[in-house]
Amino acid sequence: MRTLLKVERGTIVHFGKWGGALLALLAIVVLVVSRLRSPDVILLTDGPIADWPAYGGDPYGTRYSPLTQITRENVKRLEVAWTHRTGDVSDGSTYPRQTSFEATPILFRGTLYLSTPFSRVIALDPETGEERWTYDPNIDLYQRYSESLVSRGVEAWEDPEAGEGESCRWRIFFATLDARLLALDAVSGEPCRGFGVGGAVDLTVGVGDVERGEYEVTSPPVAVGDVVVVGSAQGDNRRVEVEKGDVRGFDARTGALRWTFQPVPRSPESPGWEGWESESARRTGAANAWAPLASDPERDLVFIPTGSAAPDFYGGERPGSNVFADCVVALRASTGELVWHFQVVHHDLWDYDVASQPALITVRRDGQEIPAVVQATKMGHIFILHRETGEPLFPVEERPVPASTVAGEQAWPTQPFPVIPAALQPERMTPDSAWGLTPWDRGKCREKMEGLRYEGIFTPPSLEGTLEYPSMIGGANWGSLALDPERRLMILNMSRFASWVRLIPRDEFVAAQTAPDAEGQFTAQAGTPYGMNRDPLVSPWEIPCTPPPWGTLVALHLDTGEKLWEVPLGTLRDIAPVPLPIKYGTPNLGGPIVTASGLAFIAAAMDNFLRAFDVETGEELWKGRLPAGGQATPMTYRVRADGRQYVVIAAGGHAGLGTKLGDHLVAFALPN
């Protein structure tokens, strides 16, 4: 009998005596051919499974995953597996502020949790992106918050004293933009009623007079033992007497305040008082920890990155080194006791906050393994410190820096410079360095630079205007770095561009702010003799005036500090007057992650792509188009042995960078 095969919409339909045998043979042929032609699309089921239980991947902030299903050989096959739309996006037309979707989800006990720019918490199925529950604390979206509407993530905690099936045994801690610390049941999303008042603690209590919209929390809290630790974000340029930047530890079960650490000391008996002359600490605020924290649960330590005291660009009202501002601070997590501190900038005049999460790793030297903290900075300086003492593991020099020319200012005469690793971006810039796409815009950039004071990094703000390079959003920012403990690597992204800042005498401030040719951001710095005006140093085409690359991805050796490779990060495709895929790199916000298979995943740049790089060479192996800006740090997980490894990133753009806004959470995986 004649055999008939007919193909209809991809399905093989057979009628006849030998149909079953032919179908079986055809299936074998198809399988063999697929293995011969594209073996890299076959999902491996013998590799590890892993979750992502904390903002930085683990309490230590390593951003490292042991997953190996996605490899350097098959990464080019990644495709979108699912997309979740949160609905939480603002372009500023309805609400006063735009959104910046900076969240990194966590995977905890089989559920994906994330926060949105509207301070909602959402629980998702990690393999489909379908919503399991959502909690809305109903912040006032019509309030004008200090910057954009933003949140970076949540923290998970298990109560070892709770019984099986007891409500809130597993908790999601989250802090809102209007400064409430929430405890939610991880299973249902309901508030934990025994925590604070109805599941919330008011963080505005005890930090001074709070101005609505100016005292916020944007980064996730950290739970260590039975204490949950939280910092704050502040609009710290508006005046001297802003809110205190206290870091506080609350009982993870009840929400009761357990301890308070004061980066700005309150009295001569407080630690750090000697770093503030003329009792200026009694008046000054901020020095807050707005960036993500890290912890070492085994050592009962929590690591706090702090920012500048208020205001950022004039320190005449806060003479002294201003310790514990601009520091890495190690506290005893259970008590809040100060263990050590290391100041990366003395008497900050440049908004050089410690913006990156500290990362904990073991450094190998002379046959010894030394517990360490790696701290990246906006200046392109990397400090590697002993985790238990804060002592530098590589040489750090105090070098002279330029003095201030502004009456009333006492700039600190020296600043700490790490010798190893060497600075990751140039620390000198001249008008001859001006860059442009054409001779015309290069000339405009040169004119701007010639009118600004600049004597190298740490040149203080001035009345005529100062070139600030690196910029206050240069170097490494809140995206932080990623560590590969097997290959002994640290991977981090850097922004390389300049800004300008000028101080304006108080009696001239209003006129300058309302002048027809006024440009940039103006802030009052009330309580000082000067207002402030600043902006990125860009051409009339909004292209940076400094030479490219404007953004890079860098690899350093953990044990020697040696730079192993550096490549541009990002193209001009989505930001130039015409779309250009030129690899100049772009300013970037967000960070990398690293997998055991030798891949670094990162978006961050101003073109809308998630990229994968070879961690050993810096070669770009793959990029996936995103529906909006990817100014967030991705994460990765695999929930079961016969399942796929997912790489997930928030693609919602960033108000400050001006990238495309959206509300997308996008998951990539190999074909199923």
Q: How far is CA 466 from the centre of its chain?
A: 27
- Quick check: 330 and 322 in contact, CB under 8 A? no
- Region 309-327: what's the mean pLDDT? 97
Q: List the catalytic residue out of 351, 353, 441, 607.
A: 351
The pLDDT mean for the chain works out to: 92
Residue 573, pLDDT score = 86
Residue 215, pLDDT score = 96
SS3 (DSSP) at 39: helix
pLDDT in tens, 505-531: 999 999 999 999 999 999 999 999 999
Res 577 pLDDT > 70: no
Res 613 pLDDT > 50: yes
Question: b/e string for 558-581 if b means 16 or more Cβ within 10 A?
Answer: bbebeebbbbbbbbbbbbbeeeee
Rounded CA-CA distance 323/309 in Å is: 9
Q: How many domains does the chain have?
A: 1
Residues 6+ apart with CB under 8 A from 44: 68, 69
Which tokens hold the place of 194? 């025994």
Instruction: Report, in this order, helix, strand and coil percent for the chain, each rounded to 5.
Output: 10, 35, 55
Tell me how long the chain is.
672
- Region 141-146: what's the mean pLDDT? 95
Residues 6+ apart with CB under 8 A from 205: none
Res 3 pLDDT > 90: no
- Quick check: 19 and 3 in contact, CB under 8 A? yes
Res 25 pLDDT > 90: no
Is 11 domain-assigned? yes
Beta bridge partners of 202: 180
Q: How far is CA 496 from CA 425, 474, 493, 551, in A?
A: 7, 6, 10, 6
Res 149 pLDDT > 80: yes
Range of 422-436, 564-578, 604-618 with top mean pLDDT? 604-618
Please name the amino acid found at residue 349: L
Residue 579, pLDDT score = 67
Which tokens hold the place of 180? 């409430």
Residue 23, pLDDT score = 38
Res 236 pLDDT > 90: no
For 434, phi and psi rounded to 5 degrees?
A: -55, 145
Residue 428, pLDDT score = 82
Residue 429 confidence class, pLDDT cut points 50, 70, 90: confident
Range of the domain at 9: 4-34
- Region 155-184: what's the mean pLDDT? 96
Res 21 pLDDT > 80: no
Rounded CA-CA distance 330/326 in Å is: 13
**CB count in 10 Å sphere of residue 395:** 10
Is 58 considered catalytic here? no
For 583, phi and psi rounded to 5 degrees?
A: -85, 70
Res 4 pLDDT > 50: no
Which tokens hold the place of 636? 């990765």
pLDDT in tens, 203-224: 999 999 999 999 999 999 999 9
Q: Cα torsion at 144, 148, 149, 155 (round to 10°)? A: -130
Is 18 domain-assigned? yes
Is 193 domain-assigned? no
Res 13 pLDDT > 80: no
- Quick check: 305 and 352 in contact, CB under 8 A? no
SS3 (DSSP) at 254: coil
Which tokens hold the place of 198? 């109805």
- Region 448-469: what's the mean pLDDT? 96
Residue 46, pLDDT score = 76
Res 244 pLDDT > 60: yes
Res 6 pLDDT > 90: no
Res 22 pLDDT > 80: no
Is 478 domain-assigned? no
Q: In which residue are the tokens 């009330």 written?
A: 526
Residues 6+ apart with CB under 8 A from 72: 597, 598, 599, 614, 621
Which tokens hold the place of 255? 């929400």
Q: Which H or E run contains 34? A: helix 19-37
Q: How far is CA 308 from CA 245, 322, 430, 588, in A?
A: 10, 8, 27, 22
Rounded CA-CA distance 385/416 in Å is: 13
Is 578 domain-assigned? no
Which tokens hold the place of 373? 């903290």
Is 29 domain-assigned? yes
Residue 50, pLDDT score = 98
Residue 574 confidence class, pLDDT cut points 50, 70, 90: confident
**CB count in 10 Å sphere of residue 10:** 5
DSSP structural state of residue 86: -
- Region 361-382: what's the mean pLDDT? 96
In sequence order, what DSSP letters do the residues of 91-144 get, joined into one string? BSSSSSSBEE-----EEETTEEEEE-TTS-EEEE-TTT--EEEEE-----TTS-
Residue 5, pLDDT score = 26
Comparing C-alpha atoms, which of 289, 295, 283 is closest to residue 325? 289
